[in-house]
Structure 1
Amino acid sequence: MAFTFTHRNSEMQLDKSHTALVITDIQNEFLIETGSYYHLIADKLKELNVFDNIERLLKCAKENSFFVIHSPHYYYPTDRQWVAQGGAIADYLFNLPDGFVGRKDPVDLEGFVGSGADYPERLKKYLMDGKTANTSPHKGLSCLSNDLIKQLRMRRVEKVIMAGPVGNLCLENHMRDLIEAGFEVAMVRDAIAAGRNTEGDGYVAAMVNFRFMANAVWTTEDTVKRLRDAAQN
């Protein structure tokens, strides 16, 4: 007889001085209709109002002076020198005719503004306010290839609230890395999207795994309330 593991995630208590909002892939490639990845997640983006909910989280975090850290994707022309296989989704994205979250060079912004690698105009006021830490790029699904964990450690952050458009890939891998590194993690379920393939729904797969691993799974509404309450204590 099969055993079904049903449980309620333990409640994570927020502590303002040790809490950060961590978001991944807040870029045109994922959130704007012209982006190369957008069509893969468009249904879930629209169904859950993911773009609006990400903005609500950013706005609330900024208004209440929480740390905000963004982990973006970038690839440069020299990355095309890679010869190792990167896995199914990596190989698909890396071989798109028009490229994927591409930049000319780490120190050259020519062609960056308005590109797939750029931030959506509506969110730039949060991501480019001089206070948000935009990390070095993650080159795969995980944050082990960038400085996210160091950015959190140097701020003495212990509790992380997470959201982003690619829930079953980059966001889930970032979550796994942070849990393994000893952070408490809450996932915001309606500020997350994912795609589908012939095997099933990536969003459902992500939510199943979040329930098994994360310290909490909240809605945007609940998260905003918790952030505000923590800011007043």
Structure 2
Amino acid sequence: MKDLTYEKHLTGLLVIDPYNDFISPGGKLWPRVQEVVEATSCVSNMKAVLEAARRANLRIFFALHHRYRARDYETWKYIAPIQREAWEHKTFEDGTWGGEIHPDFLPQPGETVAQEHWCSSGFANTDLDLLLKRHGVHKLVVIGLKANTCVESTVRHAIELGYEVTMVKDATASFSWDEMKASLEINLPSYASAILTAQEIVNKLAKG
């Protein structure tokens, strides 16, 4: 992969689904991601990249999964298995601790929160593409969860829309190592222009 540049007027950090239900002990999905999150230092790496992006004056964008609300799905004619599971477990339930953003990743004034996505892609049926383009952002650095669902779907969609994407491989996690391998070693190399570690992207952003 080529050595990319990260000009602050062109580059944005995209943070995907940093919910308590995912990355906080006690969250509904924590038991399923805990092994990978802890082994990769995912949360601390996500935080390091976010802090580095802020220091470098990159624009910060948040792509958040739809928070469960009562009667969301009851009248749907078709529902995907991933959505049915969210419905059954009330994942990221609105108004609950699990549906809140982890305190280390709360958006700061001036940072942009896109409309919530209903399935996996942060772009599908949201205003994310519009918001990025309105701010002149053409390059994305991507962190967040889950590697094989929302992260991969969002990266693929970004490429279709013409963005250049850098994936931070130890600032994401999945329910299993097989899922991580499928996304980071098999699928995403066909789409992301660079797949870096958190330390590598922190170093690059520090150089300006």
Give the TM interval when normalised to the shorter protein.
Answer: over 0.9
Question: Aligned-pair distance for 1:132?
Answer: 1.6
Change beyond 3 A, Cα 1:160–1:39: same
Please identify runs of 4+ aligned residues in structure 1 that moved more than 3 A: none
For the residue of structure 1 that corresponds to 2:18, the secondary structure is coil
For the residue of structure 2 that corresponds to 1:161, the secondary structure is strand
CA distance in 2, matches of 1:117, 1:149: 24
Residue deviations 1:76-135 (CA, integer Å, cap 9, x gap): 223133423332222222211xx11122xxxxxxx34xx1110112333xx2x2122111
Q: Check conservation: 2:82, 2:119, Cα contact below 8 A.
A: no
2:190 corresponds in structure 1 to 212
Q: Are positions 1:119 and 2:101 aligned together? A: yes
* Sequence identity percentage: 22
Q: TM (normalized to structure 1)?
A: 0.83
- Aligned CA RMSD, in angstroms, stands at 1.5
Q: TM (normalized to structure 2)?
A: 0.93
1:101 corresponds in structure 2 to 92
- Contiguous gaps of at least 5 residues in structure 2: none
Question: Aligned-pair distance for 1:66?
Answer: 0.6
Across the two proteins, how many residue pairs are aligned to each other?
Answer: 205
- Contiguous gaps of at least 5 residues in structure 1: 1-8, 104-110
Q: Check conservation: 1:137, 1:146, Cα contact below 8 A.
A: yes
CA distance in 2, matches of 1:30, 1:72: 12
Q: Check conservation: 2:52, 2:206, Cα contact below 8 A.
A: yes
CA distance in 2, matches of 1:59, 1:132: 13
Residue deviations 1:194-224 (CA, integer Å, cap 9, x gap): 113xxx7110011121112110000001101
1:202 corresponds in structure 2 to 179
